[in-house]
Amino acid sequence: MVYTRRSDKSIGKTRRKERKMYKIIYTKRAKVELENLYNYIYFNLANPIAAKRFKINIIKPISNLESFPYMGN
């Protein structure tokens, strides 16, 4: 599970940073699950390229929620 929390630190920053209104907070369980999935793909399926691609394709959209928290609604 991933939670977002509003951050007031973005006020007065550059235009790009002003969009960052929230901070992504990963639960311990979410971190463990992502790492387990990554390790499974990397070691069990013996596919390090797919494992790295998996991690990028999961983390990037989640981090986009900092700037666009209502994305996908």
Per residue in 4-53, pLDDT tens?
566 555 555 555 555 668 899 999 999 999 999 999 999 999 999 999 99
Q: Which residues pair with 5 in a beta bridge?
A: 23
Residue 49, amino acid: I
DSSP symbol at 38? H
In this prediction the pTM is: 0.66
| Helix intervals (H) in the chain | 15-18, 28-39, 48-64
Supply the angle between the helices 48-64 and 28-39 in degrees, to the nearest 10. 150
Q: Report in angstroms the alpha-carbon separations of 10 from 43, 62, 72.
A: 40, 18, 23
SS3 55: helix
